[in-house]
Structure 1
Amino acid sequence: MASLLGLVVGDAFGSRILLPGDHPAVVGRELPASPWPWSDDTEMACSVYLILSRHGEIDQDALAASFAEHFDVDRGYGSGAERMLLRYRNGESWRDVSPSVFGMGSWGNGGAMRVAPLGAWFGADLDTVVTQASKSAMVTHAHPEGVAGAVAVAVAAALAATQPSLDPVELLNAVAARVPAGEVQRRIQVAASLPGSGPVREVAATLGNGREVSAVDTVPLAVWIAAHHLDAYEDALWTVAQVAEDVDTVCAITGGIIAARAGSAVIPAEWRAACEPLPPWLGVGE
Protein backbone atom coordinates (compact mmCIF):
# COMPACT_ATOMS: atom_id res chain seq x y z
CA MET A 1 0.00 0.00 0.00
CA ALA A 2 2.88 2.39 0.73
CA SER A 3 4.28 1.73 -2.73
CA LEU A 4 0.87 2.27 -4.30
CA LEU A 5 0.44 5.58 -2.47
CA GLY A 6 3.91 6.67 -3.56
CA LEU A 7 2.97 5.86 -7.13
CA VAL A 8 -0.40 7.61 -6.96
CA VAL A 9 0.89 10.85 -5.46
CA GLY A 10 3.82 10.83 -7.88
CA ASP A 11 1.47 10.36 -10.80
CA ALA A 12 -0.88 13.12 -9.64
CA PHE A 13 1.99 15.52 -8.92
CA GLY A 14 3.60 14.81 -12.29
CA SER A 15 0.29 15.25 -14.10
CA ARG A 16 0.17 18.84 -12.81
CA ILE A 17 3.70 19.70 -13.95
CA LEU A 18 2.83 21.33 -17.27
CA LEU A 19 5.74 23.77 -17.41
CA PRO A 20 9.20 23.33 -18.95
CA GLY A 21 11.79 21.66 -16.73
CA ASP A 22 13.77 24.89 -16.31
CA HIS A 23 10.72 27.04 -15.54
CA PRO A 24 11.20 29.08 -12.34
CA ALA A 25 8.15 27.41 -10.77
CA VAL A 26 9.83 24.03 -11.14
CA VAL A 27 13.33 25.14 -10.23
CA GLY A 28 11.91 27.02 -7.22
CA ARG A 29 9.74 24.04 -6.24
CA GLU A 30 6.46 25.92 -6.35
CA LEU A 31 3.79 23.29 -5.78
CA PRO A 32 1.04 23.10 -8.40
CA ALA A 33 -2.42 24.24 -7.35
CA SER A 34 -4.62 21.50 -5.94
CA PRO A 35 -6.51 19.33 -6.43
CA TRP A 36 -4.17 16.93 -8.21
CA PRO A 37 -6.16 14.37 -10.21
CA TRP A 38 -4.32 11.18 -11.08
CA SER A 39 -4.03 9.62 -14.52
CA ASP A 40 -4.18 6.24 -16.25
CA ASP A 41 -0.97 5.25 -14.42
CA THR A 42 -2.89 5.15 -11.14
CA GLU A 43 -6.04 3.64 -12.59
CA MET A 44 -4.08 0.66 -13.93
CA ALA A 45 -1.90 0.35 -10.82
CA CYS A 46 -5.06 0.09 -8.73
CA SER A 47 -6.20 -2.81 -10.88
CA VAL A 48 -2.86 -4.55 -10.29
CA TYR A 49 -3.27 -4.05 -6.54
CA LEU A 50 -6.90 -5.23 -6.69
CA ILE A 51 -6.03 -8.46 -8.47
CA LEU A 52 -3.17 -9.18 -6.07
CA SER A 53 -5.45 -8.61 -3.08
CA ARG A 54 -8.12 -10.92 -4.50
CA HIS A 55 -5.97 -13.70 -5.96
CA GLY A 56 -2.59 -13.40 -4.27
CA GLU A 57 -0.97 -13.39 -7.69
CA ILE A 58 -1.53 -12.01 -11.17
CA ASP A 59 -4.52 -13.69 -12.76
CA GLN A 60 -4.11 -12.32 -16.28
CA ASP A 61 -7.72 -12.76 -17.32
CA ALA A 62 -8.93 -11.00 -14.19
CA LEU A 63 -6.40 -8.21 -14.69
CA ALA A 64 -7.45 -7.63 -18.29
CA ALA A 65 -11.09 -7.59 -17.19
CA SER A 66 -10.33 -5.04 -14.46
CA PHE A 67 -8.42 -2.82 -16.88
CA ALA A 68 -11.38 -2.90 -19.26
CA GLU A 69 -14.02 -2.38 -16.57
CA HIS A 70 -12.34 0.63 -14.99
CA PHE A 71 -11.02 2.22 -18.18
CA ASP A 72 -11.88 5.94 -18.12
CA VAL A 73 -11.09 7.79 -21.33
CA ASP A 74 -10.62 11.03 -19.38
CA ARG A 75 -7.60 9.66 -17.50
CA GLY A 76 -5.14 10.34 -20.31
CA TYR A 77 -4.66 6.94 -21.88
CA GLY A 78 -2.70 6.83 -25.11
CA SER A 79 -4.67 6.16 -28.26
CA GLY A 80 -3.24 2.66 -28.61
CA ALA A 81 -4.20 1.76 -25.06
CA GLU A 82 -7.70 3.16 -25.59
CA ARG A 83 -8.25 0.98 -28.64
CA MET A 84 -6.88 -2.08 -26.86
CA LEU A 85 -9.00 -1.68 -23.74
CA LEU A 86 -12.13 -1.03 -25.77
CA ARG A 87 -11.49 -4.28 -27.61
CA TYR A 88 -11.18 -6.05 -24.25
CA ARG A 89 -14.41 -4.43 -23.13
CA ASN A 90 -16.07 -5.71 -26.29
CA GLY A 91 -15.08 -9.27 -25.49
CA GLU A 92 -11.82 -9.82 -27.35
CA SER A 93 -9.13 -11.76 -25.49
CA TRP A 94 -5.91 -10.09 -24.38
CA ARG A 95 -4.16 -13.25 -25.60
CA ASP A 96 -5.05 -12.31 -29.16
CA VAL A 97 -4.87 -8.53 -28.94
CA SER A 98 -1.79 -7.75 -26.87
CA PRO A 99 0.78 -9.71 -28.92
CA SER A 100 -0.55 -8.28 -32.18
CA VAL A 101 -0.20 -4.58 -31.31
CA PHE A 102 2.50 -2.94 -33.44
CA GLY A 103 3.28 -6.37 -34.89
CA MET A 104 5.20 -7.69 -31.85
CA GLY A 105 3.30 -6.14 -28.99
CA SER A 106 3.67 -2.75 -27.33
CA TRP A 107 7.08 -1.68 -25.99
CA GLY A 108 5.58 1.36 -24.24
CA ASN A 109 6.00 2.20 -20.57
CA GLY A 110 2.48 1.18 -19.50
CA GLY A 111 3.55 -2.15 -18.03
CA ALA A 112 6.24 -0.41 -15.99
CA MET A 113 4.23 2.56 -14.74
CA ARG A 114 1.77 0.44 -12.74
CA VAL A 115 3.94 -2.36 -11.35
CA ALA A 116 5.97 -1.02 -8.40
CA PRO A 117 3.40 -2.22 -5.79
CA LEU A 118 3.71 -5.73 -7.21
CA GLY A 119 7.43 -5.73 -6.45
CA ALA A 120 6.73 -4.64 -2.89
CA TRP A 121 3.98 -7.27 -2.60
CA PHE A 122 6.26 -10.23 -3.38
CA GLY A 123 9.32 -8.67 -1.74
CA ALA A 124 12.39 -10.86 -1.30
CA ASP A 125 11.15 -13.64 -3.61
CA LEU A 126 12.75 -12.13 -6.70
CA ASP A 127 12.04 -15.13 -8.93
CA THR A 128 8.34 -14.65 -8.25
CA VAL A 129 8.66 -10.88 -8.70
CA VAL A 130 10.09 -11.42 -12.18
CA THR A 131 7.44 -13.98 -13.13
CA GLN A 132 4.51 -11.97 -11.82
CA ALA A 133 5.73 -8.67 -13.26
CA SER A 134 6.10 -10.33 -16.64
CA LYS A 135 2.57 -11.72 -16.43
CA SER A 136 1.18 -8.31 -15.49
CA ALA A 137 2.89 -6.62 -18.43
CA MET A 138 1.91 -9.22 -21.04
CA VAL A 139 -1.76 -8.34 -20.68
CA THR A 140 -1.13 -5.07 -22.55
CA HIS A 141 2.61 -4.89 -23.37
CA ALA A 142 3.77 -8.13 -24.97
CA HIS A 143 6.94 -6.80 -26.62
CA PRO A 144 10.08 -8.07 -24.81
CA GLU A 145 11.18 -4.51 -23.99
CA GLY A 146 7.75 -3.67 -22.57
CA VAL A 147 8.00 -6.74 -20.35
CA ALA A 148 11.60 -5.93 -19.40
CA GLY A 149 10.58 -2.46 -18.26
CA ALA A 150 7.96 -3.91 -15.94
CA VAL A 151 10.43 -6.45 -14.55
CA ALA A 152 13.00 -3.73 -13.86
CA VAL A 153 10.59 -1.55 -11.90
CA ALA A 154 9.14 -4.45 -9.92
CA VAL A 155 12.58 -5.77 -9.00
CA ALA A 156 13.72 -2.27 -8.00
CA ALA A 157 10.71 -1.91 -5.69
CA ALA A 158 11.24 -5.38 -4.25
CA LEU A 159 14.90 -4.66 -3.52
CA ALA A 160 14.07 -1.27 -2.05
CA ALA A 161 11.54 -2.88 0.27
CA THR A 162 13.68 -5.80 1.42
CA GLN A 163 17.33 -4.79 1.06
CA PRO A 164 17.55 -1.22 2.38
CA SER A 165 21.32 -1.43 2.84
CA LEU A 166 22.00 -1.55 -0.91
CA ASP A 167 23.72 1.54 -2.23
CA PRO A 168 22.57 3.02 -5.56
CA VAL A 169 25.12 1.19 -7.68
CA GLU A 170 24.42 -2.13 -5.96
CA LEU A 171 20.67 -1.68 -6.44
CA LEU A 172 20.99 -0.80 -10.13
CA ASN A 173 23.32 -3.73 -10.78
CA ALA A 174 20.97 -6.07 -8.92
CA VAL A 175 18.07 -4.86 -11.04
CA ALA A 176 20.03 -5.30 -14.27
CA ALA A 177 20.92 -8.85 -13.26
CA ARG A 178 17.23 -9.78 -13.19
CA VAL A 179 16.09 -7.97 -16.35
CA PRO A 180 15.95 -9.93 -19.62
CA ALA A 181 18.68 -9.09 -22.09
CA GLY A 182 17.87 -6.13 -24.33
CA GLU A 183 18.01 -2.37 -24.46
CA VAL A 184 16.23 -1.79 -21.13
CA GLN A 185 18.82 -3.96 -19.41
CA ARG A 186 21.70 -2.29 -21.25
CA ARG A 187 20.60 1.19 -20.22
CA ILE A 188 20.17 0.13 -16.58
CA GLN A 189 23.72 -1.20 -16.71
CA VAL A 190 24.79 2.18 -18.06
CA ALA A 191 22.77 3.85 -15.28
CA ALA A 192 24.80 1.95 -12.70
CA SER A 193 27.95 3.62 -14.06
CA LEU A 194 26.56 7.17 -13.82
CA PRO A 195 27.37 8.99 -10.58
CA GLY A 196 24.64 10.50 -8.48
CA SER A 197 26.62 13.71 -8.08
CA GLY A 198 26.70 14.63 -11.77
CA PRO A 199 24.30 16.90 -13.68
CA VAL A 200 20.99 15.08 -13.89
CA ARG A 201 20.32 16.52 -17.35
CA GLU A 202 23.34 14.62 -18.63
CA VAL A 203 21.96 11.46 -17.06
CA ALA A 204 18.63 12.02 -18.83
CA ALA A 205 20.42 12.71 -22.11
CA THR A 206 22.20 9.37 -21.76
CA LEU A 207 19.36 7.19 -20.49
CA GLY A 208 16.29 8.86 -22.07
CA ASN A 209 13.73 11.15 -20.50
CA GLY A 210 10.40 9.59 -21.46
CA ARG A 211 9.94 11.57 -24.67
CA GLU A 212 9.36 8.37 -26.66
CA VAL A 213 6.89 7.00 -24.05
CA SER A 214 8.69 3.66 -24.28
CA ALA A 215 9.99 1.36 -21.58
CA VAL A 216 13.51 1.83 -22.95
CA ASP A 217 13.26 5.62 -22.80
CA THR A 218 11.55 5.82 -19.40
CA VAL A 219 12.47 3.06 -16.98
CA PRO A 220 16.26 3.47 -16.73
CA LEU A 221 15.98 7.16 -15.77
CA ALA A 222 13.20 6.50 -13.24
CA VAL A 223 15.11 3.68 -11.58
CA TRP A 224 18.34 5.75 -11.51
CA ILE A 225 16.57 8.69 -9.84
CA ALA A 226 14.88 6.39 -7.31
CA ALA A 227 18.16 4.61 -6.52
CA HIS A 228 19.84 7.91 -5.71
CA HIS A 229 16.91 9.30 -3.67
CA LEU A 230 15.68 6.31 -1.66
CA ASP A 231 15.05 8.42 1.43
CA ALA A 232 14.10 11.63 -0.38
CA TYR A 233 10.72 11.29 -2.09
CA GLU A 234 10.17 15.02 -2.53
CA ASP A 235 13.65 15.70 -3.93
CA ALA A 236 13.31 12.77 -6.31
CA LEU A 237 10.05 13.98 -7.83
CA TRP A 238 11.27 17.54 -8.24
CA THR A 239 14.31 16.09 -9.99
CA VAL A 240 12.00 14.23 -12.36
CA ALA A 241 10.06 17.44 -13.00
CA GLN A 242 13.26 19.17 -14.12
CA VAL A 243 14.40 16.58 -16.67
CA ALA A 244 11.58 14.26 -17.76
CA GLU A 245 9.09 14.78 -20.56
CA ASP A 246 6.60 12.05 -19.60
CA VAL A 247 6.60 13.55 -16.11
CA ASP A 248 3.62 11.75 -14.58
CA THR A 249 4.85 8.30 -15.55
CA VAL A 250 8.46 8.85 -14.49
CA CYS A 251 7.17 10.30 -11.19
CA ALA A 252 4.80 7.36 -10.70
CA ILE A 253 7.58 4.80 -11.20
CA THR A 254 10.06 6.71 -9.06
CA GLY A 255 7.54 7.38 -6.28
CA GLY A 256 6.39 3.77 -6.16
CA ILE A 257 9.95 2.49 -5.75
CA ILE A 258 10.93 5.01 -3.06
CA ALA A 259 7.79 4.52 -0.97
CA ALA A 260 8.30 0.75 -1.12
CA ARG A 261 11.43 1.33 0.94
CA ALA A 262 10.66 4.36 3.05
CA GLY A 263 6.93 3.86 3.64
CA SER A 264 4.05 6.25 3.06
CA ALA A 265 5.36 8.65 5.73
CA VAL A 266 8.03 9.75 3.24
CA ILE A 267 5.29 11.40 1.14
CA PRO A 268 4.78 15.01 2.27
CA ALA A 269 1.43 15.46 4.02
CA GLU A 270 0.66 18.48 1.86
CA TRP A 271 1.13 16.38 -1.26
CA ARG A 272 -1.12 13.60 -0.02
CA ALA A 273 -3.82 16.13 0.89
CA ALA A 274 -3.65 17.67 -2.59
CA CYS A 275 -3.88 14.31 -4.37
CA GLU A 276 -7.18 12.85 -5.51
CA PRO A 277 -8.22 9.92 -3.26
CA LEU A 278 -7.89 6.34 -4.39
CA PRO A 279 -10.87 5.13 -6.44
CA PRO A 280 -13.80 3.78 -4.37
CA TRP A 281 -13.84 0.52 -6.34
CA LEU A 282 -10.44 -0.39 -4.85
CA GLY A 283 -12.20 -0.87 -1.51
CA VAL A 284 -9.44 0.41 0.79
CA GLY A 285 -10.97 3.67 2.01
CA GLU A 286 -8.57 6.49 2.92
Structure 2
Amino acid sequence: MGLEAAYTTLVGLAVGDAFGAQILLPGDHPDVQARRLPPAPWGWTDDTEMACSVFAVLKRHGVVDQDALARSFAAHFDPERGYGSGAEWRLNQIRAGQPWQTVNVTNGRGSWGNGAAMRVAPLGAWFHGNLPQALRQAELSAVITHAHFEGVAGAVAVAAAAALRAASPGLAGPDLLNQLVPLVPLVRVRDGLTMALKIADAREAADTLGTGREIAAHDTVPLALWIAARHPGSYVDALWTVAQLAEDVDTVGAIVGGVLAAGGTPVPADWLAACEPLPSWLR
Protein backbone atom coordinates (compact mmCIF):
# COMPACT_ATOMS: atom_id res chain seq x y z
CA MET A 1 0.00 0.00 0.00
CA GLY A 2 1.07 3.64 0.30
CA LEU A 3 3.94 3.43 2.77
CA GLU A 4 5.69 6.56 1.50
CA ALA A 5 2.44 8.54 1.31
CA ALA A 6 1.52 7.47 4.83
CA TYR A 7 4.90 8.48 6.23
CA THR A 8 4.78 11.86 4.49
CA THR A 9 1.31 12.36 5.93
CA LEU A 10 2.52 11.41 9.41
CA VAL A 11 5.26 14.05 9.22
CA GLY A 12 2.76 16.70 8.10
CA LEU A 13 0.47 15.70 10.97
CA ALA A 14 3.28 15.88 13.52
CA VAL A 15 4.42 19.35 12.43
CA GLY A 16 0.83 20.66 12.46
CA ASP A 17 0.29 19.16 15.90
CA ALA A 18 3.56 20.51 17.30
CA PHE A 19 2.98 23.97 15.86
CA GLY A 20 -0.53 24.06 17.26
CA ALA A 21 0.67 22.98 20.69
CA GLN A 22 2.77 26.15 20.89
CA ILE A 23 -0.18 28.45 20.17
CA LEU A 24 -1.39 29.31 23.66
CA LEU A 25 -2.62 32.77 22.69
CA PRO A 26 -6.06 33.75 21.41
CA GLY A 27 -6.40 33.86 17.64
CA ASP A 28 -6.61 37.66 17.60
CA HIS A 29 -3.32 38.08 19.50
CA PRO A 30 -0.80 40.26 17.60
CA ASP A 31 1.75 37.40 17.45
CA VAL A 32 -0.79 35.19 15.71
CA GLN A 33 -2.06 37.92 13.42
CA ALA A 34 1.52 38.85 12.45
CA ARG A 35 2.41 35.16 11.95
CA ARG A 36 5.40 35.25 14.29
CA LEU A 37 6.56 31.66 14.65
CA PRO A 38 6.87 30.30 18.19
CA PRO A 39 10.42 29.60 19.39
CA ALA A 40 11.75 26.12 18.68
CA PRO A 41 11.75 23.31 19.55
CA TRP A 42 8.10 22.44 19.10
CA GLY A 43 7.04 19.37 21.04
CA TRP A 44 4.17 17.31 19.69
CA THR A 45 1.26 15.89 21.68
CA ASP A 46 -0.85 12.75 22.01
CA ASP A 47 -2.11 13.36 18.46
CA THR A 48 1.28 12.44 17.01
CA GLU A 49 2.06 9.75 19.57
CA MET A 50 -1.12 7.85 18.66
CA ALA A 51 -0.70 8.49 14.92
CA CYS A 52 2.73 6.87 15.16
CA SER A 53 1.09 3.73 16.55
CA VAL A 54 -1.37 3.71 13.65
CA PHE A 55 1.50 3.98 11.17
CA ALA A 56 3.60 1.33 12.95
CA VAL A 57 0.76 -1.20 13.01
CA LEU A 58 0.00 -0.64 9.32
CA LYS A 59 3.66 -1.08 8.46
CA ARG A 60 3.83 -4.33 10.42
CA HIS A 61 0.44 -5.86 9.54
CA GLY A 62 -0.72 -4.08 6.38
CA VAL A 63 -4.14 -3.51 7.93
CA VAL A 64 -5.49 -2.41 11.31
CA ASP A 65 -4.90 -5.28 13.71
CA GLN A 66 -7.05 -3.91 16.51
CA ASP A 67 -5.40 -5.86 19.30
CA ALA A 68 -1.94 -4.80 18.14
CA LEU A 69 -3.05 -1.18 17.82
CA ALA A 70 -4.59 -1.17 21.28
CA ARG A 71 -1.39 -2.62 22.72
CA SER A 72 0.70 0.00 20.92
CA PHE A 73 -1.50 2.85 22.14
CA ALA A 74 -1.13 1.59 25.70
CA ALA A 75 2.58 0.76 25.51
CA HIS A 76 3.53 4.21 24.21
CA PHE A 77 1.07 6.19 26.31
CA ASP A 78 2.88 9.15 27.88
CA PRO A 79 0.62 11.23 30.15
CA GLU A 80 2.87 14.24 29.61
CA ARG A 81 1.67 14.44 26.00
CA GLY A 82 -1.68 16.00 26.88
CA TYR A 83 -4.11 13.09 26.73
CA GLY A 84 -7.66 13.73 27.85
CA SER A 85 -8.84 12.17 31.09
CA GLY A 86 -11.02 9.63 29.29
CA ALA A 87 -8.17 8.50 27.07
CA GLU A 88 -5.83 8.24 30.06
CA TRP A 89 -8.29 5.99 31.87
CA ARG A 90 -8.84 3.75 28.86
CA LEU A 91 -5.16 3.39 28.04
CA ASN A 92 -4.24 2.67 31.66
CA GLN A 93 -6.91 -0.03 31.74
CA ILE A 94 -5.55 -1.60 28.55
CA ARG A 95 -1.99 -1.35 29.88
CA ALA A 96 -3.15 -3.17 33.01
CA GLY A 97 -4.40 -6.04 30.89
CA GLN A 98 -8.07 -5.25 30.32
CA PRO A 99 -9.36 -6.06 26.81
CA TRP A 100 -9.91 -2.89 24.82
CA GLN A 101 -13.42 -4.05 23.96
CA THR A 102 -14.47 -3.75 27.60
CA VAL A 103 -12.98 -0.32 28.30
CA ASN A 104 -13.94 1.75 25.27
CA VAL A 105 -17.54 2.25 26.40
CA THR A 106 -18.49 4.20 29.51
CA ASN A 107 -22.05 4.26 30.84
CA GLY A 108 -23.30 2.64 27.66
CA ARG A 109 -21.87 5.25 25.32
CA GLY A 110 -18.46 5.43 23.73
CA SER A 111 -16.49 8.63 23.35
CA TRP A 112 -17.50 11.08 20.64
CA GLY A 113 -14.25 13.00 21.08
CA ASN A 114 -11.87 14.01 18.31
CA GLY A 115 -9.11 11.58 19.32
CA ALA A 116 -9.81 8.99 16.63
CA ALA A 117 -9.87 11.70 13.96
CA MET A 118 -6.64 13.39 15.05
CA ARG A 119 -4.48 10.31 14.46
CA VAL A 120 -5.95 8.74 11.32
CA ALA A 121 -4.71 10.76 8.31
CA PRO A 122 -1.72 8.44 7.68
CA LEU A 123 -4.16 5.53 7.44
CA GLY A 124 -6.13 7.33 4.74
CA ALA A 125 -2.94 7.94 2.78
CA TRP A 126 -1.89 4.30 3.24
CA PHE A 127 -5.12 3.04 1.65
CA HIS A 128 -5.46 5.80 -0.95
CA GLY A 129 -5.67 3.23 -3.74
CA ASN A 130 -8.68 1.52 -2.17
CA LEU A 131 -11.19 4.02 -0.80
CA PRO A 132 -13.68 1.48 0.64
CA GLN A 133 -10.82 -0.13 2.52
CA ALA A 134 -9.69 3.25 3.84
CA LEU A 135 -13.17 3.87 5.26
CA ARG A 136 -13.41 0.41 6.83
CA GLN A 137 -9.92 0.51 8.32
CA ALA A 138 -10.56 3.99 9.73
CA GLU A 139 -13.62 2.63 11.50
CA LEU A 140 -11.63 -0.29 12.91
CA SER A 141 -8.94 2.07 14.18
CA ALA A 142 -11.48 4.38 15.79
CA VAL A 143 -13.59 1.95 17.81
CA ILE A 144 -10.65 0.88 19.95
CA THR A 145 -11.06 4.12 21.87
CA HIS A 146 -14.12 5.85 20.36
CA ALA A 147 -17.21 3.68 20.08
CA HIS A 148 -19.67 6.55 19.62
CA PHE A 149 -20.97 7.12 16.08
CA GLU A 150 -19.63 10.69 16.04
CA GLY A 151 -16.13 9.64 17.07
CA VAL A 152 -16.07 6.97 14.39
CA ALA A 153 -17.51 9.32 11.76
CA GLY A 154 -14.84 11.91 12.52
CA ALA A 155 -12.12 9.33 11.86
CA VAL A 156 -13.81 8.15 8.67
CA ALA A 157 -14.08 11.73 7.40
CA VAL A 158 -10.41 12.54 7.99
CA ALA A 159 -9.19 9.25 6.56
CA ALA A 160 -11.37 9.76 3.49
CA ALA A 161 -10.05 13.29 3.00
CA ALA A 162 -6.45 12.08 3.22
CA ALA A 163 -7.16 9.18 0.84
CA LEU A 164 -8.86 11.43 -1.70
CA ARG A 165 -6.02 13.95 -1.56
CA ALA A 166 -3.33 11.27 -1.84
CA ALA A 167 -5.08 9.75 -4.85
CA SER A 168 -5.77 13.14 -6.51
CA PRO A 169 -3.37 15.80 -5.16
CA GLY A 170 -5.12 18.59 -7.01
CA LEU A 171 -8.43 17.87 -5.31
CA ALA A 172 -9.42 20.83 -3.14
CA GLY A 173 -12.12 23.34 -2.24
CA PRO A 174 -15.76 22.44 -2.85
CA ASP A 175 -14.70 19.55 -5.09
CA LEU A 176 -12.96 17.85 -2.16
CA LEU A 177 -15.88 18.44 0.21
CA ASN A 178 -18.43 17.32 -2.37
CA GLN A 179 -16.63 14.01 -2.82
CA LEU A 180 -16.13 13.66 0.91
CA VAL A 181 -19.65 14.24 2.25
CA PRO A 182 -21.29 11.10 0.79
CA LEU A 183 -18.57 8.94 2.37
CA VAL A 184 -19.34 10.06 5.94
CA PRO A 185 -22.09 8.46 8.06
CA LEU A 186 -25.29 10.45 8.62
CA VAL A 187 -24.36 12.09 11.91
CA ARG A 188 -23.41 15.58 13.07
CA VAL A 189 -19.91 15.36 11.55
CA ARG A 190 -21.52 14.98 8.12
CA ASP A 191 -23.96 17.80 8.87
CA GLY A 192 -21.00 20.07 9.58
CA LEU A 193 -19.25 19.11 6.37
CA THR A 194 -22.44 19.77 4.42
CA MET A 195 -22.64 23.24 5.98
CA ALA A 196 -18.96 23.80 5.20
CA LEU A 197 -19.76 23.63 1.50
CA LYS A 198 -21.77 26.85 1.80
CA ILE A 199 -19.16 28.86 3.74
CA ALA A 200 -16.46 31.09 2.26
CA ASP A 201 -15.54 33.33 5.21
CA ALA A 202 -13.11 32.07 7.86
CA ARG A 203 -14.83 33.66 10.83
CA GLU A 204 -18.19 32.32 9.68
CA ALA A 205 -16.61 28.88 9.42
CA ALA A 206 -15.46 29.00 13.04
CA ASP A 207 -18.78 30.37 14.28
CA THR A 208 -20.82 27.81 12.35
CA LEU A 209 -18.73 24.65 12.36
CA GLY A 210 -17.11 24.80 15.80
CA THR A 211 -13.57 25.42 16.94
CA GLY A 212 -12.69 22.29 18.88
CA ARG A 213 -13.74 23.83 22.18
CA GLU A 214 -15.88 20.78 22.98
CA ILE A 215 -13.01 18.39 22.04
CA ALA A 216 -15.70 16.56 20.05
CA ALA A 217 -15.48 15.10 16.56
CA HIS A 218 -18.43 17.13 15.30
CA ASP A 219 -16.93 20.32 16.81
CA THR A 220 -13.48 19.76 15.28
CA VAL A 221 -13.47 17.80 12.03
CA PRO A 222 -15.69 20.06 9.89
CA LEU A 223 -13.58 23.15 10.60
CA ALA A 224 -10.32 21.26 10.06
CA LEU A 225 -11.43 19.89 6.70
CA TRP A 226 -12.86 23.26 5.66
CA ILE A 227 -9.43 24.82 6.31
CA ALA A 228 -7.61 22.03 4.45
CA ALA A 229 -9.96 22.37 1.49
CA ARG A 230 -9.56 26.18 1.38
CA HIS A 231 -5.74 26.19 1.56
CA PRO A 232 -4.62 23.15 -0.46
CA GLY A 233 -1.40 24.66 -1.75
CA SER A 234 -0.01 26.42 1.31
CA TYR A 235 0.82 24.60 4.52
CA VAL A 236 1.75 27.93 6.11
CA ASP A 237 -1.52 29.70 5.25
CA ALA A 238 -3.55 26.72 6.39
CA LEU A 239 -1.82 26.34 9.75
CA TRP A 240 -1.91 30.05 10.54
CA THR A 241 -5.63 29.93 9.76
CA VAL A 242 -5.87 27.12 12.31
CA ALA A 243 -4.07 29.31 14.85
CA GLN A 244 -6.47 32.18 14.20
CA LEU A 245 -9.70 30.15 14.37
CA ALA A 246 -9.32 27.00 16.44
CA GLU A 247 -9.41 26.49 20.18
CA ASP A 248 -8.13 22.89 20.16
CA VAL A 249 -5.27 24.19 18.04
CA ASP A 250 -2.98 21.16 18.14
CA THR A 251 -5.68 18.70 17.09
CA VAL A 252 -7.09 20.88 14.31
CA GLY A 253 -3.48 21.51 13.25
CA ALA A 254 -2.72 17.77 13.21
CA ILE A 255 -5.74 17.03 11.02
CA VAL A 256 -5.06 19.90 8.62
CA GLY A 257 -1.33 19.18 8.45
CA GLY A 258 -1.91 15.50 7.75
CA VAL A 259 -4.55 16.01 5.06
CA LEU A 260 -2.46 18.63 3.27
CA ALA A 261 0.69 16.50 3.38
CA ALA A 262 -1.27 13.51 2.04
CA GLY A 263 -1.91 15.55 -1.11
CA GLY A 264 1.71 16.58 -1.49
CA THR A 265 1.54 20.06 0.04
CA PRO A 266 5.11 20.56 1.29
CA VAL A 267 5.95 21.28 4.91
CA PRO A 268 8.31 24.29 5.06
CA ALA A 269 11.87 23.34 5.96
CA ASP A 270 12.06 25.74 8.90
CA TRP A 271 8.84 24.34 10.36
CA LEU A 272 10.11 20.80 9.94
CA ALA A 273 13.40 21.71 11.62
CA ALA A 274 11.54 23.29 14.56
CA CYS A 275 9.41 20.19 15.17
CA GLU A 276 10.46 17.52 17.63
CA PRO A 277 11.62 14.39 15.73
CA LEU A 278 9.30 11.43 15.55
CA PRO A 279 9.84 8.95 18.40
CA SER A 280 12.83 6.63 18.29
CA TRP A 281 10.65 3.54 18.74
CA LEU A 282 8.97 4.30 15.41
CA ARG A 283 12.30 4.36 13.57
Q: Could you give the per-residue CA deviations for residues 38-74 of structure 1, whole angstroms, max 9, x where no partner exists?
A: 0000000000000000000000000000000000010
Task: Check the 8 A contact 1:11/1:39 in 2, yes or no.
Answer: yes
Structure 1: tracts of 5 or more residues without a match: none
Select the residue among 212, 215, 226 that pairs with 1:213: 215
Q: Could you give the per-residue CA deviations for residues 198-224 of structure 1, whole angstroms, max 9, x where no partner exists?
A: 2x1111100000000000000000001
Paired position in structure 1 for 2:39:
33
1 CA distance for matches of 2:255 and 2:83?
Answer: 16
Paired position in structure 2 for 1:279:
279
2 CA distance for matches of 1:165 and 1:72?
Answer: 37
Paired position in structure 1 for 2:3:
none
Secondary structure class of the residue paired with 1:281: coil
1:185 matched to 2:223? The reply is no
Select the residue among 39, 60, 63 that pairs with 1:54: 60
What TM-score comes out, normalization by structure 2 length? 0.96
Runs of 4+ in 1 over 6 A off after TM superposition: none
- 1:175 offset after TM fit, Å? 1.1
2 CA distance for matches of 1:243 and 1:155?
Answer: 23
Q: Could you give the per-residue CA deviations for residues 154-198 of structure 1, whole angstroms, max 9, x where no partner exists?
A: 000011111234341121121111011111011101111212xx2
Instruction: Give the letter aligned to residue 89 of structure 2.
Output: R
What TM-score comes out, normalization by structure 1 length? 0.95
Percent identical residues: 61
Q: Give the 5 Å matches for 1:1-150.
A: 1-98=7-104, 100-150=105-155
Instruction: Give the letter aligned to residue 223 of structure 1.
Output: L
- 1:250 offset after TM fit, Å? 0.1
RMSD across aligned C-alpha pairs, in angstroms? 0.9
- 1:102 offset after TM fit, Å? 4.8
Structure 2: tracts of 5 or more residues without a match: 1-6
1 CA distance for matches of 2:24 and 2:130?
Answer: 38
Task: Check the 8 A contact 2:70/2:100 in 1, yes or no.
Answer: yes
Instruction: Give the letter aligned to residue 209 of structure 1.
Output: T
Secondary structure class of the residue paired with 2:171: coil
- 1:124 offset after TM fit, Å? 3.0
Task: Check the 8 A contact 2:170/2:263 in 1, yes or no.
Answer: no
1 CA distance for matches of 2:197 and 2:140?
Answer: 26
1 CA distance for matches of 2:241 and 2:270?
Answer: 18
